[in-house]
Amino acid sequence: MTKKSFAVTALITAAALALTACSAGTDSTGGDSAATGSITYVIGGDPTSLNPINVGDRWGLSTTNLVYSPLARVEGDGTIVNELAESIEPADDGLSVTVTLKEGLLWSDGEPLTADDVVFTYTNKAVRENGAADLLWVAGEPITAEATDERTVVFTLPSISAAALSNIATETYIIPEHVYGDVSDFSGSELDPIAVGSGPYMLTAYERGQYLTFEANENYYGDAPNIPNVTLQIVPNADTVKTALQTGEADASFATPDQIDELSGAGLDIYPYSEGRVAYLGLNLAKLTDPAVRQALFFALDRDELNDAAYLSDEYYENAYTILPPSNAFATEDVEKYEQDLDAASAAEGTKITLAYAGSDPAQTTQATLIQQQLKAAGVTVELAGVEAASIYTEFEKGADSKYDAFLGGYIMGADPDAYSALFRTDASSNFFHYSNPATDALFDAGVAELDAEARGAIYDDLQAQIAEDAVIYPITDNLKILAVNSRIGGVEEAGLVPIYTLENFGLLTEK
């Protein structure tokens, strides 16, 4: 055995031992067992951030969603569902939004949650240097918040914004001023891992690379969680996860299409669901500066082959052609789709690129290898770099100095197309592509300021066509997520299968 293979084996063994250590009361077949008051959900890596002000990664948001609460949630169809808010009322002139909080809200430490906490949170989130302010700015100025009494906050807009209600109500998680009032810099990745929140659970322990544990928050404003203890077990290796699900050491995790038959026969229930996600090949425009070359790279690719190889059946994916997922009400197919055309790909011949992807992701690994083969047929040399997912974005922030020219990624940005400005507007906080086009910026400005739905749709049609023409990303798919759950756990649909968090409220799960 080589040193490398020994290290991999040791890692898998350590992960399996950690799972066993944190699992209790499950049998060896993944089937029914006595109630334990706990659930173990396997996640693929550490949270990139535990700071609710700037958190944006899947596992960081999943953690945040357990511990903190937003004013409201925006569901996949655009419906706004109140959480801390009792009511959210936009003014007739479109220049303000008034939020009234529910009565008697408490933090997990027993202190009152008031309008001052909301103002404190939104004021710090709107600071660009803190890292996630884009949606709280309109026409170059920030939305401001003022508490008019203990339960009422008035948000004032610099100008009319069709997306304002969604952007204010979206998942901005409220943090306590009495805990963080003396913090002057919220740009870091952690505030306090053992946090004070208002969500259904409290974070009780975090061992990096191993697990996060939670227990029910007795001061939660909603119904007490049916299962009081939750463990998020960190296991990057897909084979280890599958084994843990089969043996009952894990109660829930994501599965891949090729695992469904095997897991279904091991006492597990399978739940496929849509996240409104765009999986894509993204380019580093600071290095690949010629749009003709970028377009040629895209013409070398075969989207159908990429998706069939990764997801096995179109039952589990839908082709994506623009920056918006195909399920989005504003999505259009009236764009350059870059159907494979090797003659049109000839302008990229002789190009050499390094393609980064998440090495622990089976779908990305499959697609990266196929992209290498497809581009080779067009005379393009691709060096593959399978790495930890979070490191890709850190490296891409270096722009022209990055060692990567392209990467495989995915995003979930919600129903309102203005949210996608965080990815594609010049100098936006998540513009990892280093893309800048004044025409695109102007279309984002026009779209958010247009209140007529039909006129707004036409603007976003033009926006999608412009970004496609500029060859910034090659949209690949909106693939279904597949959640495998031990049959001893019920209430999955009641808990809500949703984008990013997997379950909207873990507290609604039950033990059979």
Q: What is the pLDDT of residues 447-493, one digit of tens each?
A: 999 989 999 999 999 999 999 999 999 999 999 999 999 999 999 99
CB atoms inside a 10 Å sphere around CB 401: 9
pTM of structure: 0.81
Q: How far are the Cα atoms of 153, 270, 371 from residue 390, in angstroms, in the given order?
A: 35, 28, 21
Cβ contacts of 250 within 8 Å, gap of 6 or more: 19, 23, 40, 41, 42, 233, 235, 241, 244, 486
Q: How confident is the model at residue 164 (pLDDT cuts 50, 70, 90)?
A: confident
CA distance 299 to 439: 24
- For residue 113, the Cα-to-chain-centroid distance in whole angstroms is 27
Query: Amino acid letter at 376?
Result: K
Given a cut of 60, whether residue 29 has pLDDT beyond it is no
CA distance 463 to 439: 9
| pLDDT on residue 195 | 86
Phi, psi of 349, rounded to the nearest 5 degrees: -55, 135
CA distance 55 to 61: 6
- Angle (CA) 18-49-212 rounded to 5° is 25
Tokens read off for 414 = 């919600």
Q: How confident is the model at residue 25 (pLDDT cuts 50, 70, 90)?
A: very low
Tokens read off for 54 = 């700037």
8-state DSSP, 360: T
Q: What is the pLDDT of residues 300-335, one digit of tens each?
A: 999 999 999 999 999 999 999 999 999 999 999 999
Mean pLDDT of 57-86: 90
> 46-77 burial string, b = 16+ CB within 10 Å, else e?
bbbbbbbbbbbbbbbbbbbbbbbbbbbbbebe
| pLDDT on residue 6 | 28
- For residue 161, the Cα-to-chain-centroid distance in whole angstroms is 24
Q: Is 473 within 8 Å of 263 (Cβ atoms)? A: no
Tokens read off for 214 = 């939670």
| pLDDT on residue 77 | 73
- For residue 163, the Cα-to-chain-centroid distance in whole angstroms is 19
Cβ contacts of 447 within 8 Å, gap of 6 or more: 162, 417, 418, 456, 459, 460, 463
Domains and CATH numbers, the chain: 3-66+199-274+481-511 (3.40.190.10), 69-180 (3.90.76.10), 278-479 (3.10.105.10)
